[in-house]
C-alpha cells in the first residue's frame, strides 16, 4: 500500500504556503478548522506585516484579528500568534526551536502542529495525525487506535522513519481526494485491491469517479484505468485522449482540497 500511495500521489506535499519555520508555524495555527487554501489567501499579507516573532509579540490585537478573521476562531488564533511570538522571543532568541518538546511547549502548538513544522521546515521526520490520516489508517487496519498520539506511535512503528513526513502527506492527499469520510470513492481507488475497507463507498466506477476530487483527478482516474466520466479509459495506443489521461501528471498542483 505504501508503494501504491507513493505512485498515486507523486505530488504530495505540505499544502500550506510558507518560506520559514515561523511562517509554517503561523500557517499551521491558522489552519485549525480552516482549509489550507483559505489560509494561503491570508498569509501573504500577514507574513509581510509580521515578518518576525517580535512583530507578532508586539502586534496590535485588533489589527491582527482583522487580518486572520476569515480563517475562523480568529480571537483564539490571535492569542496564539501573539503568545507564540512572545515565547519565541523570550525563550529562543526569536528563532523557532526544532525539537518536539520545545515546540509543543509554545502557545498554540500541539503535537500535530509540531510534527508538521519538524517534517516540513526542519527535515526532521514527523507523522502528522490529522482527521484524514486517522480515518484512513484505521480503515486500512494499520491501527485501531483513536488517540492521535497512539496512532502516531503505531504508524511510526510500521513505516520507516525516513518516510514519515512524505507518508503523512500521501495519506492526507488520499483522504482529501479519494478516501472521503462519508463516501470514499472505492470503485475508482488505486488502493482497492489491498484495502480491507473496500466497499465502504460506491464500488461502481461511474459513481465512484464522480467522488474523486482535486486538480489531479484525471491522473488519479487514469491510474485505475478510468476516463473522466468513470467509463473505462480507451487504450492509450488507440486514443490520443487515453494517452493524455495516462500521461497526465499532477504537476504544480497547489490547489487545496478540503
Residue 226 interacts with ligand SF4 (CB under 6 A): yes or no = no
Alpha-carbon distance values, 65 to 28, 30, 36, 231 (Å): 16, 11, 18, 48
Out of 11, 17, 36, 112, which one is annotated catalytic? 112
Rg (CA), the chain: 20
- Taking the least distance from each CB to ligand SF4, the nearer of 163 and 200 is 200
The whole-angstrom separation of Cα 210 and Cα 233 is: 15
Task: Residue 22: count other Cβ atoms within 10 Å of its Cβ.
Answer: 24
Q: Tell the residue number behind the cell numbers 472521503, with chain if given.
A: 180
Which positions from 33 through 52 interact with ligand SF4, judged by CB under 6 A? none
The whole-angstrom separation of Cα 232 and Cα 242 is: 10
Q: Tell the residue number behind the cell numbers 521526520, with chain if given.
A: 125
In sequence order, what are the beta bridge partners of 232? 226
The whole-angstrom separation of Cα 242 and Cα 172 is: 28
- Taking the least distance from each CB to ligand SF4, the nearer of 92 and 213 is 213
- Taking the least distance from each CB to ligand SF4, the nearer of 29 and 192 is 192
- Taking the least distance from each CB to ligand SF4, the nearer of 44 and 196 is 196
| 14 known member of a binding site | no
Taking a C-beta distance cutoff of 8 angstroms, is the pair 43, 18 a contact? yes
| 195 known member of a binding site | yes
| 179 known member of a binding site | yes
Residue 171 interacts with ligand SF4 (CB under 6 A): yes or no = no
Closest CA to 84 of 95, 99, 71: 95
Question: Cβ 178 to ligand SF4, closest distance in Å?
Answer: 5
* Per-residue interface string for the shown chain with ligand SF4, residues 194-213, x marking contact by CB under 6 A: -x-xx-xx------------
Q: Is position 130 annotated as part of the catalytic site?
A: yes
Task: Give the helix/strand (H/E) hosting 164.
Answer: helix 164-177
- Applying CB under 6 A, the span of 13-21, 33-41, 51-59, 181-189 interacting with ligand SF4 comes to 181-189
Question: Cβ 210 to ligand SF4, closest distance in Å?
Answer: 13
Among 138, 139, 153, 210, binds ligand SF4 (CB under 6 A): 139
- Applying CB under 6 A, the span of 9-17, 60-68, 184-192, 246-254 interacting with ligand SF4 comes to 184-192
Closest CA to 186 of 215, 170, 209: 209
Residue 224 interacts with ligand SF4 (CB under 6 A): yes or no = no
Question: Cβ 174 to ligand SF4, closest distance in Å?
Answer: 7
Out of 37, 130, 163, 183, which one is annotated catalytic? 130
The whole-angstrom separation of Cα 32 and Cα 109 is: 11
List, in order, residues 6 or more apart from 217 with CB less than 8 Å away.
177, 228
Residues that bind ligand SF4 (CB under 6 A): 139, 178-179, 184-186, 189, 191-192, 195, 197-198, 200-201
Q: Which residues are catalytic?
A: 112, 130
Binding site residue list for [4Fe-4S] cluster? 179, 186, 189, 195
Binding site residue list? 179, 186, 189, 195
Amino acid at each position: 500500500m505504501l508503494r501504491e500511495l507513493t505512485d498515486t500521489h507523486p505530488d504530495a506535499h505540505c499544502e500550506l504556503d510558507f518560506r520559514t519555520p515561523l511562517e509554517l508555524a503561523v500557517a499551521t495555527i491558522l489552519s485549525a478548522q480552516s482549509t489550507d487554501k483559505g489560509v494561503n489567501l491570508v498569509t501573504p499579507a500577514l507574513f509581510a506585516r509580521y515578518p518576525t516573532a517580535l512583530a507578532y509579540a508586539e502586534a496590535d490585537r485588533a489589527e491582527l484579528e482583522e487580518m486572520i478573521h476569515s480563517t475562523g476562531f480568529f480571537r483564539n488564533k490571535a492569542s496564539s500568534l501573539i503568545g507564540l511570538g512572545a515565547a519565541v522571543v523570550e525563550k529562543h532568541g526569536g528563532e523557532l526551536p526544532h525539537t518536539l518538546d520545545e515546540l509543543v511547549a509554545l502557545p498554540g502548538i500541539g503535537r500535530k502542529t509540531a510534527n508538521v513544522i519538524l517534517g516540513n521546515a526542519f527535515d526532521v521526520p514527523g507523522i502528522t495525525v490529522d482527521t484524514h490520516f486517522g480515518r484512513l489508517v484505521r480503515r486500512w487496519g494499520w491501527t485501531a487506535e483513536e488517540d492521535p498520539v497512539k496512532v502516531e506511535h503505531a504508524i511510526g512503528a510500521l513505516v520507516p522513519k525516513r518516510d514519515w513526513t512524505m507518508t503523512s502527506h500521501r495519506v492526507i492527499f488520499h483522504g482529501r481526494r479519494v478516501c472521503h469520510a462519508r463516501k470514499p470513492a472505492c470503485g475508482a481507488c488505486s488502493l482497492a485491491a489491498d484495502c480491507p475497507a473496500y466497499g465502504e463507498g460506491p464500488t461502481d466506477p461511474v459513481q465512484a469517479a464522480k467522488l474523486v476530487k482535486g486538480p489531479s483527478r484525471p491522473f488519479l482516474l487514469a491510474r485505475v484505468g478510468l476516463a473522466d466520466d468513470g467509463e473505462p479509459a480507451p487504450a492509450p495506443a488507440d486514443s490520443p485522449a487515453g494517452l493524455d489521461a495516462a500521461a497526465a501528471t499532477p504537476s504544480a498542483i497547489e490547489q487545496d482540497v478540503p
